[in-house]
């Protein structure tokens, strides 16, 4: 009985150490005051730069999540020491969270300055089509 419990707890610990998918990472708080004094043109430049960095960071994080999923799958099915190759979240997850926060702050400053800048949410589900 104790062996089963230890096995279940060990597997739960290993699975929880898997890297998060980018869409599951919450935005870190970034104050919109950093951007409120910028002109709409400068906000657009910042939005473009932050968006490009967010896409790159999300790609890195997704690759980590995919690699961890493979390591856990192999570990659970074939070779349990492979579970130690699941690295979990790290600097790339923090970068994704920070960039998501910057995008929210830029949107907040854009709303305040009536610039009309909106980031598209890649994790949003498409609206249902009406018949």
Contact 97, 25 (CB under 8 A): yes
Rounded to 5 degrees, φ, ψ at 54 are -65, -40
**Which pLDDT does position 70 carry in this prediction?**
63
Structural domain including 77 reads 17-112
Q: Concatenated DSSP letters for 72-83? A: HHHHHHT-GGGG
**Which pLDDT does position 89 carry in this prediction?**
58
Is 19 in a helix, a strand, or coil?
coil
User: Is 87 inside any structural domain?
Assistant: yes
User: Is 125 inside any structural domain?
Assistant: no
Give the closest residue to 17 by CA, choosing from 85, 76, 81, 79. Answer: 85
User: Is 5 inside any structural domain?
Assistant: no
User: Is 107 inside any structural domain?
Assistant: yes
Convert the pLDDT of each residue in 87-131 to its tens digit.
555 677 888 889 999 999 999 999 999 998 888 765 444 555 554
User: Is 88 inside any structural domain?
Assistant: yes
Number of structural domains found in the chain? 1
User: Is 73 inside any structural domain?
Assistant: yes
Is 6 in a helix, a strand, or coil?
helix
Convert the pLDDT of each residue in 30-78 to its tens digit.
998 889 899 999 999 999 999 999 988 888 888 887 776 666 555 555 5
**Which pLDDT does position 95 carry in this prediction?**
87
């Amino acid at each position: 009985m104790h062996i089963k419990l230890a096995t279940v707890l060990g597997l739960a610990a290993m699975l929880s150490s898997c890297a998060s998918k980018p869409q599951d990472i919450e935005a870190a708080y970034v104050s919109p005051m950093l951007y409120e004094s910028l002109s709409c043109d400068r906000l657009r430049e910042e939005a473009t730069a932050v968006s490009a960095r967010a896409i790159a960071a999300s790609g890195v994080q997704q690759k980590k999540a995919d690699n961890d999923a493979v390591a856990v799958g192999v570990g659970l099915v074939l070779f349990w020491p492979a579970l130690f190759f699941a690295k979990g979240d790290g600097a790339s997850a923090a970068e994704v969270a920070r960039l998501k926060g910057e995008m929210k702050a830029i949107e907040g400053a854009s709303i305040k300055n009536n610039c009309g800048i909106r980031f598209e949410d890649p994790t949003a589900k498409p609206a249902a089509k009406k018949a």
